[in-house]
Amino acid sequence: MIRAVIFDWGGVLIDDPAPGLIAYFAEALGVTGEALVNAYIKFVQEFQKGMMSERSLWEGLCAALGVQRPYNPTLWQDAVRYVYSPKEEMFSFIVRLKDAGYKIGVLSNMEMAMMDYFNEQGYDMFDVTIFSCAEGARKPEQWIYKIALDRLQVMPRETVFIDDKEENIAAAVGLGIHGILFTSPEQVIKELIALPVNTVLELQSTP
């Protein structure tokens, strides 16, 4: 019996913010997107785990790129606001799942600026939210999935995890969680029905 559905954030519930963030920062720093990504790889784990401040990130990143550190102290937050684009059909689907009695969670590798912006939205359909920057762990590390299960108070076999990255799905499946690799809202609904998440049959036909 499925009791909980956990969703990734970027790429599942909102459009993947990475391309927009890369373009925004590359323009701000006067570098190519490729150079920015290559430099950021060295810092991403610490930054997304909340172990590095944004100031320290820009100092390290700009030193690696050989450019001046940006003056704007809210550059990351400004970029998040610029690229943030919710998938409204997924939010509608979550509300219906919630109304049908399922526990709903969000599990995301997320920077502090994105988490702060998320919290500003006042979403009330999520039972738990687990963000890497607040937990000191990130997908696909299994510890962060265990945190989600514990806070939702469900067993792995009672849980579905939806993400757009195969390595994150594989880690969840390794714990006994049902995994769905996101490609579209329609595909997610179809795979949930197959598990089965019985009420999705009703949700699909609801106007």
Give me the domain span that covers residue 43: 18-83
DSSP tag of 1: -
Give the Cα separation of 16 and 3 in Å (integer).
Answer: 27
Give yes or no: residues 180 and 112 share one domain: yes
The number of folded domains in the chain is 2
Q: Collapse the DSSP code of 95 into the 3-class scheme (helix H, G, I; strand E, B; otherwise coil) and give the result.
A: helix
User: Quick one: angle between helices 185-194 and 88-99, nearest 10?
Assistant: 30
pLDDT tens readout for residues 46-75? 999 999 999 999 999 999 999 998 888 889
Q: Is the same domain home to 67 and 120?
A: no
Mean pLDDT by 10 residues, the chain (207 residues): 95 96 96 97 96 94 94 90 94 91 96 94 95 97 97 97 98 97 92 71 45
pLDDT of residue 206: 43
Kindly state whether residues 33 and 93 are assigned to the same domain.
no
168 and 157, same domain (yes or no): yes
Residues 180, 105 within the same domain:
yes
The CATH number covering residue 27 comes to 1.10.150
Cα 148 to Cα 162: distance, rounded to the nearest angstrom:
13
Residues 9 and 29 occupy one common structural domain: no
Are 58 and 148 in a shared domain? no
Question: Final residue of a domain: which of 83, 102, 130?
Answer: 83
Do 120 and 131 belong together in one domain?
Answer: yes
